[in-house]
Structure 1
Amino acid sequence: MSDDRAVSRPESALDDSFERYLQDKGKGRGGDGGNYRRNAARELERFAEWATGDRGRDDWTGITPDDVDREPVFADLDERVFREYARHLAGDRGLKQNTVQTYYRYISAWCGWCVNEGYLEAHYAQRASATAPLPEDDGRKPGDQQAWTSEQRHTLTRHVNEEARTAIEAFTTLPADTDAQDRQRARYKALKAARDRALVFVLAYTAVRVGELLRDPNDPRRRGVRWEEISLEDGSMDVYRKKQQWDAASLPDPVISPLRSYRRLMDPPTERWPVFPTFDQRTLATLVQDGLADRGTRPDTIDERREEYARDLLLALDADFRPPSVTTDGARSILQRLSDAAEIDINHQKHDYLAPHGGRRGMGEVLVRAFGYTVAARYLDNSEEMVRERYSHIEAGELGDVATEALEEVDSLVQQ
């Protein structure tokens, strides 16, 4: 991570950040491709024009104070500005509710990036007062909530499979005389791709809740699944369920191979290692620095030891400094990145990516349609009553088919 991320830039013009942000979000060489980049660029341009007073109401003069003559800068931004923009999207442009939500998310994502890069002190766009004018998800029935379709599931799993295979092959076929640092970089890239693949397959096919699989910073009991809690031979995984007790979840066949390949590549030093460790650089740097210090390593020697490794994760593996699991929010960020990379067509009023709970709901759809509510309830670890309520749209559709068939039969009798 570059040192300039921590630099405060309150006097920078808003559009000074746009190109760097779009490069980070873009695809291909230079980050100049991808649907997300194109759509985000459009919305950032609209936001900038609105901020200067060019796209607001007749009485709207922009976000700069009336007594100054300059372009808007980051010091002008606060939650009131984003609240006003949310109101502008919701009312002034006559957009549909899901479109308003989607357009605001582009600006909110940029705001979050600006916090990390030092342009802003806080994620103002996500504060409750800022999002209050956005339209509610009014009247959504359970069946309207996001559920990964078969096509979306196939597209995402195919993408992560190809990425992992490519990265693993690149690492395992390196020449014997490859530089040690280059070999480590290749291994790290393969580990990250393999972890992402395993995570996607588990979320796509097991119907396990993301809070049962990964770490929840607000609940110390949910520290993320460890390797000791997975049996690839039995096809099962012990998870701490929503009902506040440990229980076995099934690992269907599509999940076994990605997990086995990932475990072989990682070769965790103990069974107590998290299956899905964080790859956050700051967290891992602190982990290995504190771990080495606790073992009596001198500060200058700590730096030398870290320099031997291309990434702190690899040092943690060799020295058995057990990292924390990736968080539930981290999983959402991973899926947002992968959904964009896979260029998945998503049309949903709340999420512009394949959210973790959508994998669970998608499997619920498959199970209810194939085996009925009773079997689906057992697999989803829910009561049959709750499953019937959440997937009532399936039964309604089936009853509609029955009604159509009955009407056709009656019509044929009348015509005789």
Structure 2
Amino acid sequence: MPDRALSTPLDDSFERYLQDKGKGRGGDGGNYRRNAARELERFAEWAAGDRGDDDWTGIVPDDVDREPTIDDLDERVFREYARHLGGDRGLKQNTVQTYYRYISAWCGWCVNEGYLEAHYAQRASAMAPLPEDDGRKPGDQQAWTSEQRHDLTRHADERARDAVEAFTTLPEDTDPLDKQRARYAALKAARDRALVFVLAYTAVRVGELLRDPNDPRRRGVRWEDLSLDDGSMDVYRKKQQWDAASLPDPVISPLRSYRQLMAPPTERWPVFPTFDQRTLAELVREELAERGKRPEAITERREEYARDLLLALDEDIRPPSITTDGARSILQRLSEAAEIEIDHPKHDYLAPHGGRRGMGEVLVRAFGYTVAARYLDNSEEMVRERYSHIEAGELGDVATEALEEIDSIP
């Protein structure tokens, strides 16, 4: 457990989290902040034992007299809270899921800020008591609209262009560490842009693109897996085999400029490496130690760099790819920054699977189910089922046209 979490009351982390998530000056505005604050307050009351149940005394051990702290949290706590939300309180399934997501998002923030070692709320055992089926049909799943896709890709593109320009136009006498900081910011923005464009236009499943900590075969795509000249990318498909996926034209330029900026030392580098400082710091220390460097020399070497990622590039210390959770965090951040309007019962940001479904919508409407099935790497039967709302709408149009034609007959 990180030292800062040992005695941190739950409430003490809430305000910083809400400021990060809020809008406006000081982060004190926005619907998300207001709703998250309400659910965090409820979670704190529940954790303290105040939930109207004589059998529940909270998450602090019975023989300890203090308020709950972050050190008391583990996956069992979140599992019990999921069970509490899904109890006989009359909440709809979607509402239970929504309330839990507020707490889960805060838990993820605690991990990023160093309060927690792991995202306990996202573990399968913690989420098991949540309702599995909310009754929504496939057509009700989130699918990025054309406007949302445009807004997100435009924002990511502008952000990357600004960061790259800020780096490439630095004066020659710029302090080396300041130049490194500018390059790091440009790399991060370019990586995020490339990821957004790939998710928006390729319809590749996010689990096929990035690392799965529980499946060593899914280590995330590497540069050796991409052929930008041919417009293709090898991915480990859901059907448990490697296959080629298409890289359409809008994706090529962001990937090519990002690669040029990164200049990966080998083709085996991940296309979307983690930028997590704690992960990279540990990786660099361990790798340099294995290469025979003494602790003092490692410290001196690291002090030459503004970020460990840049040292890893120079020393060819290959970092892991980001995970699917990492992609969700990036999309959450960019969706909020771009102020994209999202009206969905489950997600308040553009989720990765929404990019795939959005492309499915485009392909079905433009070229029909057969072509869409090939691009989506699905059976035509499954595509017809998932996008049945499109066919239903088209049949409705046919029926309307038929009625109008009959009504016009004298």
1:141 corresponds to which of 125, 130, 137:
137
Give identity over the alignment, percent: 86
SS in 1 for 2:179: helix
Q: Which amino acid aligns with 1:254?
A: P
Aligned to 1:262: 258
Distance change (3 Å), C-alpha of 1:212 and 1:47: closer
Which whole-Å deviations, capped at 9, do the CAs of 1:42-94 have from their partners, x for residues lacking one?
Answer: 3323444555677x559799747899987555577676765665566556775
SS in 2 for 1:271: coil
Aligned to 1:324: 320
Aligned residues: 409
2:353 corresponds to which of 349, 353, 357:
357
SS in 2 for 1:43: helix
1:201 corresponds to which of 197, 210, 216:
197
Which whole-Å deviations, capped at 9, do the CAs of 1:170-228 have from their partners, x for residues lacking one?
Answer: 11111111100000000000000000000000010011122222222222222222222
Aligned to 2:165: 169
Aligned to 2:232: 236
Task: Report which stretch shifted further, 139-148 or 173-182.
Answer: 139-148
Task: Report which stretch shifted further, 252-261 or 282-291.
Answer: 282-291
Distance change (3 Å), C-alpha of 1:345 and 1:90: farther
Kept after mapping to 2: 8 A contact 1:53/1:60: no
Q: C-alpha separation between the residues in 1 aligned to 2:125 and 2:345? A: 20
SS in 2 for 1:221: strand
1:346 corresponds to which of 339, 342, 346:
342
Distance change (3 Å), C-alpha of 1:221 and 1:133: closer
Structure 2 regions of 5+ residues with no counterpart?
none
Q: Which amino acid aligns with 2:372?
A: A
SS in 1 for 2:245: strand
Task: Report which stretch shifted further, 151-160 or 368-377.
Answer: 151-160
Structure 1 regions of 5+ residues with no counterpart?
none
SS in 2 for 1:258: helix
Aligned to 2:214: 218
The answer to whether structure 1 residue 312 and structure 2 residue 308 are counterparts is yes
Aligned to 1:36: 32
Aligned to 2:389: 393
Distance change (3 Å), C-alpha of 1:60 and 1:76: farther
Q: Which amino acid aligns with 1:334?
A: I
Correspondence list, 1:111-122, <5 A: 111-114=107-110
TM-score by length of 2: 0.87
Q: Which amino acid aligns with 2:345?
A: Q
Kept after mapping to 1: 8 A contact 2:144/2:350: yes
Aligned to 1:160: 156
Aligned to 2:269: 273
Task: Report which stretch shifted further, 184-193 or 273-282.
Answer: 273-282
Distance change (3 Å), C-alpha of 1:66 and 1:328: closer
Distance change (3 Å), C-alpha of 1:348 and 1:394: same
Distance change (3 Å), C-alpha of 1:61 and 1:349: same
Aligned to 2:283: 287
Correspondence list, 1:19-98, <5 A: 19-26=15-22, 31-32=27-28, 35-49=31-45, 56=51, 63=58, 73-74=69-70, 82=78, 86=82, 89=85, 95-98=91-94
Q: Which amino acid aligns with 1:347?
A: D
SS in 1 for 2:216: strand
Q: CA deviation at 1:251?
A: 1.2
SS in 1 for 2:408: helix
SS in 2 for 1:239: strand
1:102 corresponds to which of 98, 116, 130:
98
Kept after mapping to 2: 8 A contact 1:27/1:341: no
Q: CA deviation at 1:295?
A: 2.9
2:14 corresponds to which of 18, 25, 28:
18
SS in 2 for 1:17: helix
Computed over aligned residues only, the root mean square deviation of the Cα atoms, in angstroms, reads: 3.1
Q: C-alpha separation between the residues in 2 aligned to 1:212 and 1:252? A: 17
Q: CA deviation at 1:34?
A: 5.1
Q: CA deviation at 1:376?
A: 0.8
The answer to whether structure 1 residue 368 and structure 2 residue 346 are counterparts is no
Q: C-alpha separation between the residues in 2 aligned to 1:361 and 1:70? A: 48
Q: Which amino acid aligns with 1:163?
A: R
Aligned to 1:380: 376
Distance change (3 Å), C-alpha of 1:91 and 1:347: farther
Q: C-alpha separation between the residues in 2 aligned to 1:75 and 1:328? A: 26
Q: Which amino acid aligns with 1:218?
A: N
Q: CA deviation at 1:269?
A: 1.7
Q: CA deviation at 1:246?
A: 2.7
Kept after mapping to 2: 8 A contact 1:25/1:31: yes
Distance change (3 Å), C-alpha of 1:300 and 1:33: farther
Kept after mapping to 2: 8 A contact 1:215/1:224: yes
Q: Which amino acid aligns with 2:408?
A: S
Kept after mapping to 1: 8 A contact 2:94/2:134: no
